[in-house]
Amino acid sequence: MTAPLTERSPLMPTYPPPAVTFVRGKGSELWDDAGKRYLDFLGGLAVTALGHAHPAVADAVSEQARTLLHVSNLFGNTVGPEVARTLDRLLGGGGQVFFGNSGAEANECAIKLARRFGGRGRYGVVSTYGSFHGRTLATLHATGQPAKHEAFQPLPEGFKHVAWEDLDALDAALTPDVAAVLLEPIQGEGGVRPAPPAYLQGVRRLCDERGALLMVDEVQTGLGRTGAWFGFQHAGVEPDVVTMAKALGNGVPIGACWAREDVAGTFEPGDHASTFGGQPLAAAAARATLAVMEAEDAPARARRAGARLTELLTALPGVSEVRGLGLLLAAELAGGDAKAVQAECLRRGLVLNAVTPTALRFAPSLLVTDDELDEAVSIVARVHP
């Protein structure tokens, strides 16, 4: 028998039932449907890098909505190319951009590009165990978490995984059919694990030796969050392909795949497309977001606030390790159950996330204030002294 409507969610059961329903946000603050205030130290999973309801983004979105929301990519618009030029400049120049709507779509573009660049017979993508690259069938297979694969076999062919930080394993995996290596500069969903610079430099060297592309997934780490515009910049390497999404529209869905021009140029008209990708509305949000990020020097803000948050968390007796870069941090709890700590923090008005069973993830707004950092850590300290 069908359950009464009041008991049945209208949404598919892909997420657990939510503990809280939010209705409003401003800066680092959120309010739920009962009017209770929260400090948001998760930022919509590293999305709202400028905080909620940033006036520059809100104005840009509303002005663009009154001007031109959408035109097909069969025609031009003025906003998308402007955002692409800004991204290319922040990435050092010499590349081209494809726009989609999400991180997974940005990575799908990278995977298709790798196959186009590699040519027939050279299609493989090597990624690392513990990685996360998305939930579409191809990006799910690139995601190095076999437990997530099982229910959805068979997944698209052409993916293999090697241990994180293991250059010998990568060396062995780079067979002639491999077109690209795909990795995050900090494994985000995998527990906030930064790649040591020497590892990324070693990956670059191996890719050069074998003629494989180095594709860096900056969906979570990109656009200032780690204290640099892009996470790979901490290692001084130059990737061939960079994907990004989350922070790009400060909450308006937009993803981007950047590639060196000679790589991007292997795509031909008709090879790839997205109805909404780079449309004026989402691009206007990204243009405003990037303008504020540059004006505020978002990477410097993330470095400064991240150093303070690291110091405050490290001083807590209940925290055994703080890892990450800038404002993408994890606090390992000494003898702690991170899910229980997360739930109690939420009850006390702090939003964060148990990224592993024993670690809390912090990804607040890059514009977070010192007072907000102090308030958040004092809540954690009370919950897990």
Ligand X SMILES: Cc1ncc(COP(=O)(O)O)c(C=O)c1O
In this complex, which beta carbon is closest to ligand X, that of residue 103 or of residue 158?
103
Q: Which residues are within 8 A (CB) of 340 and not within 5 positions of it... i.e. 6 or more apart?
A: none
Among 108, 184, 240, 332, binds ligand X (CB under 6 A): 184
Among 51, 100, 130, 188, binds ligand X (CB under 6 A): 188
Q: How far is CA 255 from its chain centroid?
A: 10
Among 42, 83, 114, 219, binds ligand X (CB under 6 A): 219
Tokens of 360: 């809390």
Among 29, 217, 240, 372, binds ligand X (CB under 6 A): 217
271 catalytic residue (yes or no): no
Among 29, 108, 189, 372, binds ligand X (CB under 6 A): 189
Contact code string over 40-59 relative to ligand X, x by CB under 6 A: -----x--------------
The count of chain residues that interact with ligand X, using the rule CB under 6 A, is 15
Least Cα distance to 272 among 156, 108, 88 occurs for 108
User: Residues 216-230, buried b or exposed e (16+ Cβ, 10 A)?
Assistant: bbbbbbbbbbbbbbb
Q: How far apart are CA 295 and CA 244, in angstroms?
A: 20
Least Cα distance to 261 among 231, 233, 240, 232 occurs for 240
* Distance in Å, CB of 249 to ligand X, minimum: 11
Q: Which residues are within 8 A (CB) of 328 and not within 5 positions of it... i.e. 6 or more apart?
A: 46, 186, 188, 192, 220, 221, 225, 226, 306, 361, 362, 363
Q: What are phi and psi of 36, to 5 degrees?
A: -75, 140
Among 79, 241, 242, 245, binds ligand X (CB under 6 A): 245
148 catalytic residue (yes or no): no
> Using CB under 6 A, which residues numbered 132 to 171 contact ligand X?
132-134
Among the listed residues 40, 99, 246, 362, the single catalytic one is 246
**114 close to 177: Cβ distance less than 8 angstroms:** no
Span interacting with ligand X, options 4-12, 111-119, 129-137, 375-383, rule CB under 6 A: 129-137
132 catalytic residue (yes or no): yes
In this complex, which beta carbon is closest to ligand X, that of residue 132 or of residue 258?
132
* Distance in Å, CB of 355 to ligand X, minimum: 11
**346 close to 380: Cβ distance less than 8 angstroms:** no
Tell me whether residue 275 is exposed, middle or buried, using C-beta atoms within 10 angstroms of its C-beta: 0 to 12, 13 to 18, 19 or more.
Answer: exposed
Pairing of strands 328-333, 359-362: antiparallel
Least Cα distance to 33 among 45, 19, 46, 23 occurs for 23
* Distance in Å, CB of 19 to ligand X, minimum: 20
> Which 3 state secondary structure label does DSSP give 256?
strand
Among the listed residues 41, 99, 117, 217, the single catalytic one is 217
Among the listed residues 98, 99, 117, 132, the single catalytic one is 132
In this complex, which beta carbon is closest to ligand X, that of residue 40 or of residue 189?
189
Interaction of residue 200 with ligand X, rule CB under 6 A: no
Interaction of residue 225 with ligand X, rule CB under 6 A: no
The residue sitting closest to ligand X, measured at its beta carbon, is: 103
> Which 3 state secondary structure label does DSSP give 203?
helix
> Using CB under 6 A, which residues numbered 88 to 127 contact ligand X?
102-104, 107
Span interacting with ligand X, options 75-83, 88-96, 130-138, 368-376, rule CB under 6 A: 130-138
Active site residues: 132, 217, 246
Contact residues toward ligand X (CB under 6 A) are 45, 102-104, 107, 132-134, 184, 188-189, 217, 219-220, 245
